[in-house]
Structure 1
Amino acid sequence: MLGPFLGVAGIQVTDKAIAWASARAPWFNRVMEGFPTLLVREGQRDRAAMRSQSLTDPALDRALHAAGLEYEREVVIGRLEPNGKITLVRRAR
């Protein structure tokens, strides 16, 4: 009965330690959260970046349509955020 309690307590202590360090050291927070991946640059899909993130063309198409865009040429920059959301910045008209 003591084993599961120690396991849960260890996980909680680790979680609190990471949260504490992330709140006090921006560099540590960046390491823990990750970095965005550029998927679209100046209207061109970065196939290598998409492949490294296992992102399919239809998935990026859905994100474009959700943002009210039809083609990636309308995008200056598109990135996959560490939380999994795709952020698209529209080209100025």
Structure 2
Amino acid sequence: MSTVFKAAAAYLVVLFVIRLIGRRTASQQAPIDMVVLFLFGGMSVSAVLGDDKSFVGAMSAVFTVGLMHVAVSWLKLRYVWFERICDGTPIVVYRDGDWDETQMRRLRMQQADVRTAARQQGLDDMDQVAVAIVERDGKVSVIEKA
């Protein structure tokens, strides 16, 4: 039974830490970000299972993490405030030629990231961009000037 509690706690801790790290890890996944995510998984497994190498112990942990994911998804649907805690809200980082440096620092995002998103939408110059928004999943939405 302790495996179930440890798996539930590990799920919540990893969810919290990933939210703490920020959106960049989830969306762009540079090699160092992938290393961090894989290490989280490895450390969580050893913390949850410890010396228990049984099949039942491992499946209990897998089942618990699956149920935690379903429970968190249900809570996000039911409570907007919980969804905001887990997933965040869209953040405007560029509007009409002005960068919001405070938000950029908070997101640990560089202007080059936004410029890359603009180029991917066929906009060569930021003068063509009305608004750039970092979405909840970390992707940058760029809205072209009319």
TM over 0.5: yes
Segment drifting more, 9-18 vs 64-73: 64-73
Q: Does 1:25 align with 2:113?
A: no
Corresponding letter in the other structure for 1:15:
H
Aligned to 2:70: 16
CA distance in 2, matches of 1:52, 1:30: 16
Corresponding letter in the other structure for 2:94:
V
- Using the TM superposition, give the Cα deviation of residue 41 of structure 1 relative to its aligned residue in structure 2, in angstroms: 1.6
Q: Does 1:57 align with 2:111?
A: yes
- Using the TM superposition, give the Cα deviation of residue 79 of structure 1 relative to its aligned residue in structure 2, in angstroms: 0.7
CA distances 1:65-93 after superposition (whole Å, capped 9, x unpaired):
1122222232221111111211111122x
Is the 8 Å Cα contact of residues 78 and 88 (structure 1) preserved in structure 2? yes
1:69 is paired with a residue whose SS is: coil
Corresponding letter in the other structure for 2:58:
P
Identity of aligned residues (%): 25
Corresponding letter in the other structure for 2:96:
E
Gaps of 5+ in 2: 1-53
Q: TM-score, normalised by structure 2?
A: 0.55
- Using the TM superposition, give the Cα deviation of residue 50 of structure 1 relative to its aligned residue in structure 2, in angstroms: 1.7
Q: CA RMSD in A?
A: 1.8
Aligned to 1:85: 139
Corresponding letter in the other structure for 2:69:
D
CA distance in 1, matches of 2:112, 2:78: 39
CA distance in 2, matches of 1:82, 1:12: 22
Q: Which has the larger helix fraction?
A: 2
Q: Which has the larger strand fraction?
A: 1
Q: Does 1:44 align with 2:84?
A: no
CA distances 1:13-38 after superposition (whole Å, capped 9, x unpaired):
11111122223334433332211121
- Using the TM superposition, give the Cα deviation of residue 51 of structure 1 relative to its aligned residue in structure 2, in angstroms: 1.9
Number of aligned residue pairs = 92
Q: Which runs of structure 1 show a deviation greater than 6 angstroms over 4 or more consecutive aligned residues?
A: none
